[in-house]
Amino acid sequence: MTINTETLVSITEANQNFSKVARLVDEHGSAVILKNNVPRYLIMEFAKAEETMVATDADVLSVSRRIIAQNKEAYEVLSR
């Protein structure tokens, strides 16, 4: 994941000025909150989060093909 350095906020600053975090999300789509200078939390718009949780048909088909290929022998035995 690529992180925009403009959207990095320390946990202390986010705690004291959450409206700044909300503005960053509105402007850039997300904000990253750092804890001990390490990215710890990702804040994003709710609608965008829902979009990322739904797998596309192509993703599901790709995973299905991989599972079938990995377990080909078992499927052949079951089909008899």
- Which residue ranges make up each domain of the chain? 1-44, 55-80
User: pTM of the full predicted structure?
Assistant: 0.59
Class of domain 1-44: alpha beta
CA gap 31, 11 in Å, rounded: 11
Q: pLDDT, tens digit, for every residue of 17-59?
A: 999 999 999 999 899 999 999 999 999 988 887 777 677 778 8
pLDDT of residue 34: 95
CA gap 50, 47 in Å, rounded: 5
pLDDT of residue 1 exceeding 70: no
Half-sphere exposure of 20 toward its Cβ, with a 13 Å CA cutoff? Answer: 14
